[in-house]
């Protein structure tokens, strides 16, 4: 089951308003094609994807997240989201999730 939260515009200003609690997140392009599925402290991790002062990683326009409450649970949830993604995309990971998760 995917993250149910609506997509938000991926800007530093928006990300700085997010909680810094454990969770999972997705980055997508403007067409809502998922580019990356990540986990960790939400605000910290989302800000880490801005390689320079104001521009996010190439192609990322939107994000959404789900709080999980613990590191263990966010790793489990990320794995579940990656499995769901691979099951609907010919066993391939999102473009920026390079290593395989089981």
100 φ, ψ (degrees, to nearest 5): -80, 140
Split at pLDDT 50, 70, 90, the class of 51 is confident
What percent of the chain is predicted at pLDDT more than 90? 79
In sequence order, the β-bridge partners of residue 38 are 25
Cα 13 to Cα 17: distance, rounded to the nearest angstrom: 7
1/100: higher pLDDT: 1
Give the whole-angstrom CA distance, residue 92 versus residue 69: 28
Partners of residue 53 on adjacent β-strands? none
For range 27-42, the mean pLDDT: 96
Could you give all domains of the chain from N- to C-terminal order, each with its CATH number? Answer: 8-88 (3.40.1440.10)
- Reply yes or no on whether the pLDDT at 87 is more than 60: yes
User: Given the structure tokens 């290593």, which residue do they identify?
Assistant: 99
């Amino acid at each position: 089951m995917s993250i149910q939260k609506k997509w938000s515009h991926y800007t530093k200003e928006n990300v700085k308003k997010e909680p810094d609690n454990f969770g999972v997140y997705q980055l997508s392009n403007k067409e809502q094609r998922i580019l990356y599925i990540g986990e960790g402290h939400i605000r910290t991790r989302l800000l880490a994807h801005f390689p320079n002062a104001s521009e996010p990683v190439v192609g990322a326009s939107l994000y959404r997240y789900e709080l999980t409450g613990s590191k263990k649970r966010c790793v489990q949830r990320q794995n579940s989201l990656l499995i769901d993604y691979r099951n609907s995309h010919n066993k391939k990971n999102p473009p920026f999730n390079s290593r395989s998760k089981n």
